[in-house]
């Protein structure tokens, strides 16, 4: 894929995202003016604010203004916090990235070996167990697992900390630098804070990791079954190579190329799909930010957060596709 074509696809997809979010913001039964002023505002004030917000202009002109503002990173002001939306997003998004990153790591470290094992033991009890684990991960609502996890691991066993990101004891004494609390605590050598942060994040990250594991293990199994049926595997066995070397040194190495895309899409899915998890665990990320904004009819914040998450998803998707084409010589001429 040429750089020009890549940029055209990225620009077109992003333009489509902006168009969809704009028109969704216009068709939902929430008046942004009343959300700002309240239901009892005088009609003359309502009309004046409507003109100031440009809502009296033709729809195509409103979309042009919206497009120009969004491309410059201006999503308006949040009604709930009175801050610029991008300021709020820069504050909350690192928490979501931290949670999704740890969840993806858990899902990859456990899911890939499980997928390999299921492929090698195809049709056996081990294969059936791995497939059931994946099926449960796909089928059971993540918010239900979250509530169950809190009852078991927090309320009963007390292995993890209560919902939230950090204990109130450290909340006003810990000064994060980057917004990624685990990194900042380790960098500053505040290990008591680090372990407290870990006790807060481990349960929600594990649940997201389980969700990621279900997808990664299934795709790994599929890729490995395809590789194990190839002629080079038969030739390797005929040469007397050990099964360990054939599976982990040859088959998995070739299956790792499409796995780049799988892990990238899983990561992007956790970034955009962590809304319920953040709500259940009171995790101060962008998912909880969007949920609270939606409950308070703060449409600037909702649409701004949606665009940011959608942009990240588009970027990761296109980047994974580009990496796949770079790593697999067979796709370079496509």
Q: What is the pTM of this model?
A: 0.84
C-beta of residue 271 within 8 angstroms of C-beta of residue 108: no
Looking at the fold, whether 203 and 270 belong to one and the same domain comes out as yes
Q: Residue 329 — pLDDT band, cuts 50, 70, 90?
A: low
C-beta of residue 107 within 8 angstroms of C-beta of residue 266: yes
Looking at the fold, whether 137 and 189 belong to one and the same domain comes out as yes
Looking at the fold, whether 120 and 260 belong to one and the same domain comes out as yes
290 belongs to a structural domain: no
The more confidently predicted of residues 171 and 200 is 200
Looking at the fold, whether 65 and 176 belong to one and the same domain comes out as no
293 belongs to a structural domain: no
212 belongs to a structural domain: yes
pLDDT at residue 305 is higher than 60 = yes
Find all residues with CB under 8 Å of 83, minimum gap 6, and list them: 77
Q: Indicate the DSSP class of residue 330.
A: G
308 belongs to a structural domain: no
59 belongs to a structural domain: yes
Residue in 113, 327, 64 with CA at minimum distance from that of residue 213: 113
Q: Residue 54: how many CB atoms within 10 A of its CB? A: 11
Looking at the fold, whether 130 and 57 belong to one and the same domain comes out as no
The more confidently predicted of residues 223 and 24 is 223
Q: Indicate the DSSP class of residue 141.
A: -
317: which strand partners?
none
Domain residues for 227? 101-285+316-331
The CATH number for 260's domain is 1.10.3720
Looking at the fold, whether 108 and 21 belong to one and the same domain comes out as no
Looking at the fold, whether 37 and 186 belong to one and the same domain comes out as no
Given the structure tokens 């990173």, which residue do they identify?
Answer: 73
- 158-193 pLDDT, tens digit per residue, is 888 888 899 988 988 888 998 899 999 999 999 999
Looking at the fold, whether 55 and 126 belong to one and the same domain comes out as no
Given the structure tokens 């930010």, which residue do they identify?
Answer: 289
CA 307 to CA 11: how far, in whole Å? 14
pLDDT at residue 321 is higher than 80 = no
C-beta of residue 304 within 8 angstroms of C-beta of residue 86: yes
Among candidate residues 51, 71, 91, the one where a domain is terminated: 71
Looking at the fold, whether 175 and 126 belong to one and the same domain comes out as yes
Task: Quote the number of domains for the chain.
Answer: 2
Mean per-residue pLDDT of the chain:
84
168 belongs to a structural domain: yes
């Amino acid at each position: 894929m040429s750089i020009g074509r890549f940029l055209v696809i990225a620009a077109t997809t992003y333009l489509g995202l902006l168009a969809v979010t704009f028109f969704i913001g216009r068709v939902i039964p929430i008046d942004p003016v009343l959300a700002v002023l309240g239901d009892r505002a005088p009609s003359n004030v309502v009309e004046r604010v409507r003109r100031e917000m440009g809502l009296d202009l033709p729809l195509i002109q409103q979309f042009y203004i919206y497009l120009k503002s969004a491309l410059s990173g201006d999503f308006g002001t949040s009604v709930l916090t009175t801050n610029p939306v991008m300021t709020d997003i820069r504050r909350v998004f690192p928490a979501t990235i931290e949670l999704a990153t740890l969840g993806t790591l858990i899902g990859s470290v456990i899911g890939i070996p499980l997928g390999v094992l299921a492929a090698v033991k195809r049709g056996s009890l081990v294969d059936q167990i791995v497939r059931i684990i994946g099926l449960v991960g796909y089928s059971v609502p993540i918010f239900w697992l979250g509530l169950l996890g809190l009852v078991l691991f927090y309320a009963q066993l007390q292995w993890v900390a209560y919902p939230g990101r950090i204990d109130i004891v450290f909340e006003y004494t810990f000064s994060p630098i980057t917004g990624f609390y685990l990194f900042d605590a380790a960098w500053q050598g505040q290990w008591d804070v680090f372990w407290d942060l870990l006790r807060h994040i481990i349960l929600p990250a594990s649940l997201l990791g389980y969700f990621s594991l279900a997808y990664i293990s299934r795709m790994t199994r599929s890729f490995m079954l395809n590789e194990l049926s190839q002629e080079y595997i038969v030739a390797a066995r005929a040469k007397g190579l050990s099964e360990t070397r054939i599976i982990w040194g040859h088959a998995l190495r070739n299956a790792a190329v499409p796995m780049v895309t799988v892990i990238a899409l899983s990561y992007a899915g956790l970034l955009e799909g962590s809304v319920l998890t953040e709500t259940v665990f009171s995790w101060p990320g962008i998912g909880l930010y969007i949920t609270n904004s939606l409950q308070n009819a703060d449409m600037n914040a909702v649409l701004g957060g949606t665009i940011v998450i959608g942009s990240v998803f588009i970027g990761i998707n296109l980047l994974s596709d580009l990496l796949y084409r770079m790593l697999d010589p067979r796709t370079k001429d496509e």
